[in-house]
Structure 1
Amino acid sequence: MSPNNSISIIIPVLNEERLIGKVIDHLHKTSTTLAIKEILCVDGGSSDNTCEIVKTRGATVIESGKGRAKQMNKGARNATGKILYFLHADTFTPQKFDEQILEAIGQGYDSGCFRMKFDTRNPILRFFAYLSRINHRLCRGGDQSLFVKRDLFNKTEGFNEAYLIYEDTEFITRLYKKSKFKIIPDAVITSARKYREKGWLRVQYHFGMIHLKNYMGAEPEELYSYYKKNILA
């Protein structure tokens, strides 16, 4: 394996004892090369057994302040791989995901993601997941996972920690301006748990409003205030 093709997987976690073990096991089952250098789970202060489960799976726990942008930046600072792969704690990779990332890098792409599917047959959510195949920044989100060369990550200064939500999309928007962005045709499977808990119509509507507010120039604080009031409440 070329050292230039080494992959660090970075997963921000907070009270994810129900899924994180399954996600790490799945990473091992779906990787097919020796490129995976490490799995870093960056914990934002879990009060459950998340960290213990991570350690029993042979992954590394890194302690961090709470906030996904802050956690992912800390993971990146501690990563030793040349390629950073950011994955949510409720998202499952496709077979040969590592091979597909390396292939995209070999084709000259410095950043990219997979298409995405939800673990539900809800037709509305399936439609929005279908849009993930479109290579436009408005169709991007963290649930699709994200790979980026570490040099490019550093050049673009990583995630903006002022964003308590929407940090993935804000960062990817900057990546689109700085690099060739690849949409890998295979799909990650992400949990629709938030939609099941809060109601798919409610969540999708308010996420749409957050997209619109961001597009219209809303500040990070306004986006989080709207999210806290309409989705977390």
Structure 2
Amino acid sequence: MPDPFLSVVIPVGPEESEITRGLIDDLHLLPQHSEIIFVGCDEKSQAGLKRSTTDRIKAYSVQWAYAEPGRAKQMNAGAKQAAGQYIWFLHIDSRFSPKLIDTLVGNLRCYPERLHYCLLAFMDDGPSSMEMNSLGANLRSLCLGVPFGDQGLLISKQLFAEVGGYPETAPYGEDHLFVWYARQHGIRLKCCRSRLLTSARKYKRKGWLPLTLLYQKLWIKQAWPEFIRLLKKRYF
């Protein structure tokens, strides 16, 4: 059989006890020649999840990989196992539409050498103020070129290796840093003008304003030195 066109890598954290029916249904919208790689962090405790995903997804190759807990380590492990020409990194609480898949695949055909991402929208499982967060995230990515991991980063396997993968020692923001590393390697961004849904439950649990302010503080603090490095690479 030929290698798959697309490998979808989904890290499964230690606190994840199920993979929602919504995500399972959406995964059946993937292009025909795709593979799905869930990356767990405890093979024994997540054995039930492995069985259920294999049983519920029949149309694609479903694999499980394992790594130490930590999204960067898990995504790198999934990328290492991926056989596809392109790798799409998805969060386990993501949801997407057929239109998004069509747009994303079309963008890949036209711009194979770019780092792709989607517009962001939040599900209605959090505070009513989340529309402001999605607007801010989309303006940040479109105007400043800084998408985050919940926007579904997608890149060719070759370019992912050239960038060096996700930084496993970063205390936070491994996806944010990966975008900066890609840009510092001269890789341009391409936005899929369809919305990828993600859960807003943590904002409801931790409080909308405190969590929003914390995230703004952290990404700006992390972005500044990477922005300086980008300028030096381009102009000096």
Percent of residue pairs identical: 25
CA distance in structure 2 between the aligned counterparts of 1:153 and 1:192, rounded to whole angstroms: 28
Give ranges in structure 2 of 5+ residues lacking alignment: 227-236
CA distance in structure 2 between the aligned counterparts of 1:159 and 1:205, rounded to whole angstroms: 25
User: Which stretch of the first structure deviates more once superposed, 198-207 or 17-26?
Assistant: 17-26
Is 1:119 matched with 2:123? yes
Moved segments of 4+, more than 6 Å: none
Equivalent residue for 2:36, pick from 35, 39, 61? 39
CA distance in structure 2 between the aligned counterparts of 1:182 and 1:149, rounded to whole angstroms: 13
Q: How far does residue 137 in structure 1 lie from its aligned partner after superposition?
A: 4.9
Normalised to the residue count of structure 2, the TM-score between the two structures is: 0.81
Residue pair 1:11, 1:87 contacting (<8 A) in 2 also: yes
Aligned residues: 214
Per the alignment, residue 162 of structure 1 pairs with 169
Q: 1:21 to 1:64 in 2, by over 3 A?
A: farther
Residue pair 1:88, 1:143 contacting (<8 A) in 2 also: yes
Q: 1:142 to 1:60 in 2, by over 3 A?
A: same
Q: How far does residue 18 in structure 1 lie from its aligned partner after superposition?
A: 3.6
Residue pair 2:117, 2:190 contacting (<8 A) in 1 also: yes
Is 1:91 matched with 2:94? yes
Q: Secondary structure at the match of 2:98?
A: coil
1:11 partner letter: I
Normalised to the residue count of structure 1, the TM-score between the two structures is: 0.82
Q: Deviations over 1:49-89 (max 9, x none)?
A: 43333232243211111110000000000000000000000
Q: Secondary structure at the match of 1:92?
A: coil
Per the alignment, residue 107 of structure 2 pairs with 104
User: Which stretch of the first structure deviates more once superposed, 113-122 or 6-15?
Assistant: 113-122
Q: Secondary structure at the match of 1:133?
A: helix
Q: How far does residue 190 in structure 1 lie from its aligned partner after superposition?
A: 0.2
Residue pair 1:137, 1:173 contacting (<8 A) in 2 also: no
Q: How far does residue 128 in structure 1 lie from its aligned partner after superposition?
A: 2.2
Per the alignment, residue 77 of structure 1 pairs with 80
Is 1:187 matched with 2:184? no
